[in-house]
Amino acid sequence: MGLEPLFQAWSCFRRRKFRQCSDLCSQLLEGPPGEQAAWSLKTRALTEMVYVDEIDMDEEGIAEMMLDENAIAQVARPGTSLKLPGTSQGGGPSPAVRPVTQSGRPITGFVRPSTQSGRPSTVEQAIKTPRTGLTARPITSASGRYVRLGTALFDYIFHHENDVKNALDLAALATEHAQFKDWWWKVQIGKCYYRLGLYREAEKQFKSALKQQDMVDTVLYLAKVYLRLDQPVTALNLFKQGLDRFPGEVALICGIARIYEEMNNISSAAEYYKDVLKQDNTHVEAIACIGSNHFYSDQPEIALRFYRRLLQMGVYNCQLFNNLGLCCFYAQQYDMTLSSFERALFLAENEEETADVWYNLGHVAVGIGDVNLAYQCFKLALVNNNDYAEAYNNLAVLEMRKGHIEQVGDLQRSYTAAQKSEEAFPGHVDTQQLIKQLKQHFAML
C-alpha cells in the first residue's frame, strides 16, 4: 500500500528532494480543482530550488581580500581577529592534526560561502559576480512574502540584475516616501551599502532598522558587517543579545558556532552546534560540523553516527560518502570503506572532488600496506588536480621508502624546519623524534 500522494510530496520536501516534490504536486493538480495544499507546497518547492539566501550568500573573492582597507587595527589582540585566529584556545585538536585553509582557519564539516570554496579566480570576476540560486545555501530563516510592487521590483534589480546602484536609488526614494519610518527599506539600503563595501554606512542603516523593528534577519545582516570589519567579538555579543530577545533561534546559535569555529575555538563551537540540534535536529550544517569535530578528535565511531544521520535525511553527495569511507576505515569497518569510496567517485561532480576521493583511497592503501595501490591512487589524485600539495608530499614519502632519494645530507635546514614545526605544534611526537635523531647526528659529526 503506497503513501497518500500529498503526504509523499511533503515527505520529499522535508528530505530536500524538491524536484520530486514538485512533480508529485503537479500530478495532484491535474486531478479535481481546489487542492490548495498542493498549490502551496509546489510553490514552496519551486522557490527553494532557486532561492538566494542573501544573509548567508557572501563570497569573499580575490578583490575583497587584496583590496581590503577595513581593518581596524594592524596588530589585533589574540582572540579578537579572524585574520590571525591563533592556536586553538578552547581545546580540541591542533591545526597540525586538523587540516586548515590557506588563511589558517580549520576546515569545517560544511562548505560555506567565504570559506575555501567558490572563490572567483580573477579580480574582474570577483568584482562582478552575479548571485545565483546555485551558489546559495537554501537553508534560511528569511521568510519574506513581498507582495507590494516596490519590494518585488527591488528584489528583481538587486538579486536578478545585480544592479546595486539602481537598487540603492530605489530604496532611498522609497524610504524617503515612507518618511524614514519603514524598517524594511532601511534593511534594503543596508544590503546595498554592504554590497558596495560601505560597511559603516550599512551598520548605521541596520541599527536604525533594529530600533524600529526587532528582526532576526537584521541581526544576521549586522553581524555580517562586523565580521567583514574583522570584529568577531562584537558580532558574538550581538548574537548573544539577539538570543535574549529571540530565545532558541537556530540562525543566531549557528552564527555564534561559526565564529567560534573560525577563531579556532573548536570546543565552544561544538557546544553551540549541539544547542542548534536541540532546537532543530535536522540541521545539516550542525550535524556535519559536529561529525567532523569528532573525527578529528579521534572518535571516528561517533562521527560515523552523525554522517549516517545525514544519509538518512536524504543528503546524497560525494563529500558525504567520502567522509563515511574515512570514518569506516578509521573505525575498522573495512567492509564498508571501499564501497563508500566507490559511491563517492560515482557522485563526484568535478575533478577536485574526484582528486579528494583518490587521495583518501591512497591513505587507505597505505594503512593496509599496499604501497603500489597507494602510489596509483596519489598519482590519480594529481591527474585530477595538479595542485594537490598533500598528494605530492605523500608520493615523496613513498619514493623515499623505496629508496629513491636524490638529495640527502642537508641536516642544518632539516633541523631549522623541525624547530619551526615544534613551535607550531609542541605536542607532535614525530617532530620530537626527528629532532632527537638530528641531535644524535650532530653529536657524531
Higher pLDDT, 165 or 407: 165
Mean pLDDT, rounded, for 376-380: 94
Half-sphere exposure of 5 (CA within 13 A, CB side): 14
What is the predicted pLDDT for the residue at 73? 60
Question: What is the pTM assigned to this prediction?
Answer: 0.75
- pLDDT tens digit sequence for 86-107: 555 555 556 556 776 655 666 7
Domain residue ranges in the chain:
5-50, 411-444
Higher pLDDT, 124 or 76: 76
Mean pLDDT, rounded, for 48-57: 72
Higher pLDDT, 249 or 406: 249
Mean pLDDT, rounded, for 303-307: 94
What is the predicted pLDDT for the residue at 37? 86
Mean pLDDT, rounded, for 14-35: 83
For the chain, give the percent of residues with pLDDT over 70.
78
pLDDT over 50 (residue 123): no
Mean pLDDT, rounded, for 36-49: 87
pLDDT over 70 (residue 388): yes
Q: What string of DSSP letters covers 311-377?
A: HHTT---HHHHHHHHHHHHHTT-HHHHHHHHHHHHHH--SHHHHHHHHHHHHHHHHHHT-HHHHHHH
What is the predicted pLDDT for the residue at 438? 78
pLDDT over 80 (residue 312): yes
Mean per-residue pLDDT over the chain, rounded: 81
pLDDT over 60 (residue 319): yes
Q: Long-range contacts of range 191-198, CB-CB < 8 Å, 24 or more positions apart?
A: 191/54, 191/158, 191/221, 192/158, 192/164, 192/165, 192/167, 192/168, 193/168, 194/221, 194/224, 194/225, 194/228, 195/164, 196/164, 196/165, 196/168, 197/64, 197/70
